[in-house]
Structure 1
Amino acid sequence: MAQLRFRDFHPDDIDGILHLWEELRATGVEPVYGLSEVLASCQQDHAVVAVLDDVVIGAAVGRAAHAQGWIVFLSTASAHQHQGIGGRMLAALEKRMAPIGLSKLSVLLPDTALRVDAFKNQGFEAKKNLVYFERQIPVQRNELSALRELGGRLMPRGLWDSIGGMQHEKDLLERRLVMPLARPDLAERFGVVPPSAVVLFGPPGTGKTTFARAIASRLEWSFVEVFPSRLASDPAGLAGALRETFTKIADLEHAVVFIDEVEEIAVQRGGEPPSAMQGVTNELLKIIPMFRDQPNRLLVCATNFIRALDTAFLRHGRFDYVIPIGLPDSDARTSIWSRYIPPHVLADIDVDALVSSTDGFSPADIEYAAQKASQGALERALSSDAGVDGAAGPSSSDYLDAVADTRATVSREVADAFLEDIESIARV
């Protein structure tokens, strides 16, 4: 007669755990903990199995967090349910974990779970009025070393929402880039292929770098900025260093890769004799198709001078979109000014006058003027007889004077050329 035994988990039991996992999911129950977490706890924490004729028919897996233990997985094969096996596995697991000094043993169950008798019979109590929240950590520990080697980082959450104004650009980037990448299941349902590479072009200071970082923040992906000027000093040469960098990027699970001023390494080819940069451009043209074959990554190239780019660089098949990022309109300038003016004086500031006087200013120009006004007001208060305590803060005249002393980065000629480029080059 077959004998039922309860023993500690052994690495040879993994196939049995996998079978129990799939059988549980087939009933419509989605376990709270993922399969990788369950297998990790089997090997690193505490686990017992029920064995009949050397076949694993049940498993109970737990882990400890300080004085509290958690049941990570409990399942019994469907052919052996209602035999008290679940309760006996829980008892064995609790006995195994007792020496580490637990004061509480807890379990989280999906609301579709039907098999709760084992927990009730072992003295577990259902707690009411509890809400469970969880958040997936976007970058795993094993990725961090590769990310540090690349000089990459995780962008702070909320960068997307902090962009003042530029609503048209934000809506466009949200629809074309963020949504298909963040919701690949939805994109697949509608036959949309998530983008792999885009070019952002526009006058200097319009926020192309800010948008690239915000996209990474919005997706919660790693952000890696590639600096051609730094790679140029590599012993392998710029082309070799570029190739090696993208090889390392392939080790990341998710990544937004940003190359600013890409015209430096994607210049128009031609001329005799060929320039030294043509080899770099050729290398980049070979890298992009390989990059596109890797899922869960986005290459964002930015340029102030899109006409300087090699014509082959922008063709279909390399970049999904060529998106213009222009000067802020009046609504955007209103939002940008409101972000830089201290809240306690905002109601007393003639924002409409500031918006009108900064037509043609880039976001960077407005930030410079705002900081100039604030610094001037602070220095004036420090040197006044009333002192800084008696000063309310910057006034409308402070801001208007600062605007008058600020030279717009983008000339009329550059702005007109940008509008022409939108008509002839943009692809949205």
Structure 2
Amino acid sequence: MARITIRDFHDDDLDAVVRLWWEARSSGERPVYSLAEVTASCRQDHAVVAVRDDEVVAAAVGRAAHAQGWIVFFGVAEHARTGDVTGGLLDALERKMAPLGLGTLSVLMPEGSRVDLLTSNGFQLEHKLRYLERQMPVQRRELELLKDLGGRILPRHLWEQVAGMRHEKQLLEERLVAPLAQPDLADRYGVVPPHAVMLFGPPGTGKTTFAKAVASRLDWPFIEVFPSRLGDGVSSMAAQLRSVFEQISELEHGVVFIDEVEEIASQRSDPPTPTQGVTNELLKIVADFRDREGMLLVCATNFVRALDAAFLRHGRFDYVLPIGLPDAEAREAIWRRYVPESVAPSIDFAQLVVLSEGLTPADIEYAARRASQDALARELRGGGGVDAGDGGIAAGGAGAGGAGAGRAAGDDGRVSGGGSRTALSTADYAAALRVTRATVSAEQQAAFSEDIEALARL
């Protein structure tokens, strides 16, 4: 049998390394690193091969990071698995990487691999270790394009932060997220992943928040297109819109969001309006999106009735989903987000939830921030809170929550033992609610209910 020699990797050896990687994969010893990573390290990092009769029968590929060496790939053809080949190959890679000043040479092996090939050559098996990986949402080539589009990668926890709103979240999870995130599961049930969806509801109800949460849940880039920014005086709004979406089409994945879409998708008329051309262009874009994989167009409107009828026909948007006012669970979560942790134990959140019924998330945020600002102003003017009888919070206040806000100071945690006062109390928040105007009127809420019956497509 011909003698095996070990030498540095040459570019001509790449095909052989690829073959060894596929052999390892097909034998059940699935390589930890992808083929693209292995081939890149062959060329850019450190690699050695074992050769017999001009055939590469084994390869070891490594890279260094922060004084630690990692074996990216270690593959030996089945007919060449001898101690001399394994040991010689590992020793050669170690010598090649030694000048880098490495403290350790480490390797990750999938379950089922023959770790004896390594333990017999000085490697120690460390237990209680798990290999985890996470795919990068945007590849390097896409970063500049995403920057030009004003897009961004959102934090991965936004979906969990949308507390309450169980019905809306369930709809989005079942209709949008699951088919896009698990296409194989969708295929099993004959579900076609969505390409375009319309969110509608009163202003301030969180449509943008939901769109961002979907992008976060999918781990896709989020790109917002602003109708008000289209048109630069040189090219038409339609041309600008087309140019933006041509750039977006170069991304592999993305959630594209258009808020207040009624600005460029209002009902067409005769004679044509100045925006009719951009409306026609948007209809073409929606049709193009239906042929794209890995992209989702989310449009949002406060006035779904104002949209051109063509947008709401079947075949344009997969779903037309209503997003209404926050439910009790969501209102409590919003309150807890803005009430300082230091005073939260003394706050009657159940009362605030009742008093804020019919308010949007933005309304509740305003009331919470106003209460905090008023408390700070009192501290700066006189030090501490105010007594229950002070004019800032009348004992029998009227308006939203007048009954609850009129409790004695000792009941809401304003006055504590020894006469000291807490900075904020339930009464402070109730007082702020009384001067907070509801964004959504009763008439708007009634119209929203009618729109759900007439236009929603779930």
Within 2, Cα distance between the matches of 1:226 and 1:337? 31
TM-score by length of 1: 0.94
Instruction: Judge conservation of contact 2:359–2:439 (CA < 8 Å) in 1.
Output: yes
Q: CA deviation at 1:132?
A: 3.4
Task: Specify whether residues 362 and 132 from structure 1 end up closer, same or farther in structure 2 by C-alpha distance, changes over 3 A only.
Answer: same
Alpha-carbon offset, residue 350 of structure 1: 3.1
**Is 1:142 aligned with 2:172?**
no
C-alpha distance in 1, partners of 2:215/2:21?
34
Q: Which amino acid aligns with 2:266?
A: V
Structure-1 residue corresponding to 2:446: 416
Q: Counterpart amino acid of 1:338?
A: R
Deviation, structure 1 residue 179: 1.8
Q: Which residue does 1:323 correspond to in 2?
A: 321
Q: 1:228 to 1:10 in 2, by over 3 A?
A: farther
Kindly provide the amino acid, as one letter, of the partner of residue 229 in structure 1.
S
Q: Distance in 2 between matches of 1:221 and 1:117?
A: 41
Q: Does the aligned pair in 2 maintain the 1:165–1:336 contact within 8 Å? A: no
Partner in structure 2 of residue 407 of structure 1: 437
- For residues 78 and 189 of structure 1, the distance between their equivalents in structure 2, rounded to whole angstroms, comes to 38
Q: What percentage of aligned pairs have identical amino acids?
A: 60
Quote how far apart the aligned CAs of 1:2 are: 5.1
**Gap regions ≥5 residues in structure 2:** 387-419
1:258 to 2:288 alignment: no
Contact 1:164 1:339 (C-alpha < 8 Å) held by counterparts: no
Deviations 1:170-207 (A, max 9, x none): 12212211122222222222222221111110000000
Are residues 1:284 and 2:282 paired?
yes
Aligned to 2:17: 17
Counterpart of 2:91 in structure 1 is 91
Aligned counterparts, 1:177-192, within 5 A: 177-192=176-191
Q: Which runs of 5+ in 1 are unaligned?
A: none
Residue 224 (structure 1) aligns with: 223
Is 1:242 matched with 2:234? no
Q: Output the amino acid matched with 2:253.
A: H
Inter-partner Cα distance in structure 2 for 1:234 and 1:27: 62
Tell me how far 1:3 sits from its aligned partner. 5.3
Partner in structure 2 of residue 36 of structure 1: 36
Counterparts of 1:345-384 in structure 2, within 5 Å, are 345-384=343-382
Deviation at 1:108, TM superposition (A): 0.8
Equivalent pair of 1:84/1:118 in contact (CA under 8 Å)? no
- Separation of aligned partners in 1, 2:422 and 2:326: 29
The residue aligned with 1:203 is: 202
Q: Measure, in 1, the Cα distance between the counterparts of 2:337 and 2:385.
A: 26
- Counting matched residue pairs gives 426
Q: Which amino acid aligns with 1:45?
A: D
Give the stretch that moved more between structures: 416-425 or 156-165. Answer: 156-165
TM, length-normalised to structure 2: 0.88
Structure 1 CA distance for aligned equivalents of residues 92 and 369 of structure 2: 66
Distance 1:43 1:234, change over 3 A: farther
Residue number in structure 2 paired with 1:165: 164
Measure, in 2, the Cα distance between the counterparts of 1:233 and 1:373. 42
Deviation (angstroms), 1:234:
6.2
CA distance in 2, matches of 1:386, 1:70: 60
RMSD of equivalent CA atoms: 2.1
User: Which secondary structure state, in structure 2, belongs to the residue aligned with residue 74 of structure 1?
Assistant: strand
Report SS of the residue matched to 2:342.
Answer: helix
Deviations 1:289-341 (A, max 9, x none): 22232222211110000111111112222211111000122333233223222
How far residue 391 of structure 1 moved from its aligned partner, in angstroms, is 4.6
Which structure's CA Rg is the greater one?
2
Q: Give me the whole-angstrom Cα distance separating, in 2, the residues matched to 1:352 and 1:107.
A: 54
Mapped to 2, the partners of 1:234 and 1:180 lie a distance apart of 41
2:246 and 2:9 map into 1 onto residues whose CA distance is 39
- Quote the offset at 1:105 in angstroms: 0.8
- The Cα of 1:162 is off from its aligned counterpart by 1.5
Equivalence for 1:335: 333
The Cα shift of 1:387 comes to: 8.1
**Cα separation, partners in 2 of 1:227 and 1:52, compared to 1, 3 Å:** same
**Do 1:200 and 1:300's aligned partners in 2 also have CA atoms closer than 8 Å?**
yes
**CA distance, structure 2, for counterparts of residue 41 and residue 241 of structure 1:** 42
Query: 1:75–1:86: 8 Å Cα contact kept in structure 2?
Result: no
Counterpart in 1 of 2:175?
A: 176
* Distance in structure 2 (CA, Å) of the matches to 1:54 and 1:311: 70
Shift of 1:46: 0.7
Tell me how far apart the structure 2 counterparts of residues 286 and 69 of structure 1 sit (CA, whole Å): 52
* Alpha-carbon contact 2:195-2:317 (below 8 Å) kept: yes
Q: Which secondary structure state, in structure 2, belongs to the residue aligned with residue 420 of structure 1?
A: helix
CA distance in 2, matches of 1:338, 1:202: 24
